[in-house]
Amino acid sequence: MSSDQFKQCADEIKQLIRDIDRVSNAKRDIPYLNITSPQCTNLANTTMLGCQRILQGHQSKIYSIDWMRDSRHLISVSQDSTIRIWDAFESQLIHTLNARSKWLLSTAISPDSKTAAVAGVLKRILIFDVEQRLRTRTSEIDSDRYKLSELSGHSSMCFSIKYMGSNRLISGSADMSCRLWDLNQSCASSTYLGHTGDVLSVTPQNNTDFFISAGSDKTIRLWDTRTSQCQGVFGGHDAPINNVAFLKNNNYVFGSACDDGTCGLFDLRAKQALHFFKPVNVTKRIPFTSISFSQSGRLLFASGNNDQSNGTSSLIFVFDTLKGNCVQTLAGHQHSISSLRTSPDGSCVASASWDNTIRIWA
């Protein structure tokens, strides 16, 4: 090998090292060797998050939020009958849609960020054009102007909705059913029965035909959209399960947030729970309402609402999924935290609360 060829190879290796470092830093994590070294007992010294933004504008409790794919804009729904679109970078309210319906309980953004779905007490799901809405900056308007379709079929309120691709939607309802919706036809294509209580949360497996659901019957169920039969039941909790979420880059591992004061980590391959996370040095049971994972899956964010004699103390617990311990708690919200979402690029976590605010943590 000539000296020029050797120099070229050395330059390529250096460039590869820089690329690896860039991708690693984007994960906002630390190398695995550092994690498992005797000198590193936990992530407490490497994971220090703080509140960077507070989004204010809602006049009542916020029940649900979701990020757009640019990791800058997010949408929220509230008891004040409005759907709001925010610029998280600038802490700015961009748009307000008046849905003319109180108790909006859930919202979801399509993977291409062109449409948004909202649902709540009125038993129907509304689909809106948010791509067109982002191109204009106007004052509060009636949501009917941007409504694309309305999905009816549930016999009771919808607690949870999620997109499965850009043209399908899954929902969970107090009528104890999950439904798969064809957005091109604006109708339900399948109904999934098996839960014996309210279905409080649904979430799809990444890029597959499977999804999971959880509810007040204390179970998590696995479904295949190609058949109406339940593919598996996961137990371990002894209270209503409020939220479930898959790891961002793992189709087999998912977490749960439960009223029993624990967050579960489950593996579809093992067909059981791997671990239950619980705060230490806490005398009273803290119900968990929502969870979200970091980009790498190393961190589990869980919102817990602890009733105290002087009010409600709402915290976000940051658990190390490898070691099982809590590495940080985030305080700031003055009322119950209803929703947690990690941004698509993994750079921050958003939390929505009954104190009418959204906080951005990074």
Q: What is the pLDDT of residues 118-155, one digit of tens each?
A: 999 988 999 998 877 666 655 555 556 667 789 999 99
pLDDT tens digits for range 288-323? 999 999 999 999 999 998 755 444 478 999 999 999
Q: CA-CA distance, 320 to 23, in Å (whole number)?
A: 21
Q: Is 97 helix (H, G, I), strand (E, B) or coil?
A: strand
Amino acid at residue number 262: T
d(CA 194, CA 141): 40
pLDDT for position 31? 46
Whether 194 and 187 have beta carbons less than 8 Å apart is answered as no
What pLDDT shows up at residue 4?
80
Q: Which helix (H) or strand (E) holds 20?
A: helix 3-26
Q: How far apart are CA 289 and CA 307, in angstroms?
A: 13
Torsion sign, CA atoms 132, 134, 136, 141:
positive
Q: What percentage of the chain reaches a pLDDT higher than 90?
A: 68
| Mean pLDDT computed over 192-216 | 96
Q: Give the pLDDT confidence score for residue 85 in this predicted structure.
A: 94
